[in-house]
Amino acid sequence: MAEFTRNIGLSLGADLCWPACYEEIVRRLKLELPIGDDVVRFAVERVTVEPFNLQQGCKYDVVLDRLTHWFHTSREWIKKAVILDGLYVLNNPWSVQSMEKHTSYCAMMKLGMPIPETYLVPPKEHKPSADVKTTLDRYARLFDIAKVGDRLGYPLFMKPYDGGAWVGVSKIDDGDQLRDAYEKSGTFVMHLQKAVDPFDLFVRAIGLGPQVHIVRYDPTAPLHARYMVDFFFCDGDEWSVLQDTCLTINSFFGWEFNSCEALRKEGVLYPIDFANACPDFQVTSLHYHFPEMVKNMVRWSIYCAATGRKMQPTLDWEPFFKIAKKDLPYRERLREYAKIAHQRMETDRFVEFCHKHLSHLNEVTWDFFGTDLARSIVRAKVAALFPAHEVDKFTEHFWGLIQFWRKTEADRLAAMRGTQGAAGTAEVADLAPGATVAAGEAS
């Protein structure tokens, strides 16, 4: 019997909280997994940024990347390592680099998802080269932006076509507001999207591998209050639709860590923002939901490393398009898309792996988030973001919400095993073979 160590690299930017929690939980799991004829252990290390030879080896089996979406040096190192060394990363770096919100809207329209009607409008201001100026002089046509708004209907939203952070999203209620917002948009290419109005529910579904964690969301609240602590805000059918939607989008673009925002109006869930292959993963915003997300990352990354899951560097959209051509009711079509997602994410194998090797993850995570170390990690993140006079207040706030999670987690696990007692003695995994992988519905 051979012994191997799988190396997991953390490619990080400003992230402080989840990497520290992830490292400690993996250490406490004390994993020595019998995989086939081998025993597999795990080492976790933070990836440094430095010059690299394109043909130098990569010592990592899996890298959990939080930089590819904006930091070019790490992006190019990861692409090199995927091609030359067989590195596994959760999100296809070429897809992350090339797919903006515009493409994601078009693709999901092609699959028949209820995406709100959307226009792309040329930038208000141009600073063209001579060749571009010639093209614009010949072919650009004057238009009245307010008439485009009239065709869409108000209210509508104006937002950057690529989701960029340099210019915000504006809610537009009439033609005058639209003209004013367009004037201020400058050189940015913008979308105009019909509002889902009125809506009675805003949710964010966060996919991590085949796991989907669904949260009620309030985008108008301060960042620390947007992820709401709420339960049973969807019925079972709606929960299933959100799961299948998120998994379809993620598998279509080669993303295993991505979020999908959706609005509910008259019983229909409209995806409105779902090209975010680097979702929020901070305790200062996720708070109550943070331990579940850390658990989901541990499960999926350990599975990928232990089983030697292979990176798929290219995208294959044809199976989705074949289903889109069929004359199927939308819900049935979405189920067929989700079947592709589950096949690509090896859901059944993943669930069996978690039952066999990670059944103690609940216990370890529950224990860890009651420790002084966990509290110090929360405080360090708060101190990095909040003014000094607010650090004590918000540390207690977020820590209190995590302790509330521990209470509900203890109740949930006790109910699952049919007995009362502390979650620290639970050996029941969250997942059931053959079932859709979810998080939170029964919390």
Please provide the DSSP assignment of 205-273 as one string: EEEETTEEEEEEB-TTS-GGGSB------S-HHHHHHHHHHHHHHHHHHTBSEEEEEEEEETTEEEEEE
Q: Is 81 helix (H, G, I), strand (E, B) or coil?
A: helix
Paired strand residues for 227 = 217
Kind of pairing between the strands at 62-65 and 33-35: unpaired
Q: What is the pLDDT of residue 365?
A: 98
The token pair that represents 281 in the structure block: 């993963």
8 A C-beta contact, residue 439 and residue 240: no
Given this model, what pLDDT does residue 140 score? 79
Give the pLDDT confidence score for residue 436 in this predicted structure: 39
Does residue 51 have a pLDDT over 70?
A: yes
428 has pLDDT over 70: no
2-98 CATH pick, 3.40.50, 1.10.1060, 3.30.70, 1.10.3470? 3.40.50
Confidence of residue 402 (pLDDT cuts 50, 70, 90): very high
Name the token pair of 311. 């990176």
Cβ(288)–Cβ(229) below 8 Å: yes
Name which of 354, 373, 362, 243 is nearest 301 in CA terms: 354
The per-residue pLDDT for range 109-157, each reduced to its tens digit, is 999 999 999 999 998 877 777 777 787 788 878 899 999 999 999 999 9
Rg (CA), the chain: 23
User: 196 is written with which tokens?
Assistant: 């889902």
Q: Any idea what the Cα angle at residue 372 is, between residues 366 and 374, rounded to 5°? A: 55
Q: Are 124 and 183 in contact (CB under 8 A)?
A: yes
pLDDT at site 427: 41
Asked if 223 and 386 count as a contact pair (C-beta separation under 8 A), the reply is no
Q: Where are the domains of the chain?
A: 2-98, 117-194, 201-439
What is the mean predicted confidence (pLDDT) over 412-423? 72
User: At 419, is the pLDDT very low, low, confident or very high (cuts 50, 70, 90)?
Assistant: low
Q: How confident is the model at residue 431 (pLDDT cuts 50, 70, 90)?
A: low
Task: Give dist(CA 286, CA 371) in Å, integer.
Answer: 19
In contact, 47 and 102? CB cutoff 8 Å: no
Cβ pair 8, 305 in contact under 8 A: yes
Q: Are 286 and 279 in contact (CB under 8 A)?
A: no
- Euclidean distance between the first and the last CA atom of the chain, given in angstroms as a whole number: 41
Q: What is the pLDDT of residue 22?
A: 98
**Range with the lowest mean pLDDT among 135-144, 249-258, 396-405?**
135-144
| Helix axis angle, 290-307 to 361-368, nearest 10° | 140
* Measured distance CA(179)–CA(173) in Å, rounded: 11
Fold of 117-194: Dna Ligase; domain 1 (3.30.1490)
pLDDT, one tens digit per residue, over 261-313 is: 999 999 999 999 999 999 999 999 999 999 999 999 999 999 999 999 999 99
CA 439 – CA 431 distance, rounded (Å): 9
Where residue 442 falls among pLDDT bands split at 50, 70, 90? Answer: very low
CATH of 201-439 given 3.30.470.20, 3.30.2270.10, 3.20.20.70, 3.40.50.2000? 3.30.470.20
- In percent, the amount of the chain with pLDDT more than 70 equals 93
pLDDT mean over 350-367: 98
Sheet holding 156-160, edge to edge: 118-121, 190-194, 156-160, 170-172
Phi then psi for residue 256, to 5 deg, are -115, 0
Please report which confidence band the pLDDT of residue 2 belongs to, taking 50, 70 and 90 as the band edges. confident
Q: Name the packing angle between helices 391-417 and 372-385 (round to 10°).
A: 140
> How many whole angstroms from its chain centre is CA 155?
28
- Residue 434, pLDDT score: 35
CA dihedral defined by 74, 342, 218, 396, rounded to 10 degrees?
-70
Burial class (CB in 10 A: 0-12, 13-18, 19+), 375: middle
Q: How far is CA 274 from CA 100, 104, 141, 260, 271, in A?
A: 10, 7, 31, 4, 7
Spatial CA neighbour of 358 closest among 419, 307, 408, 283: 307
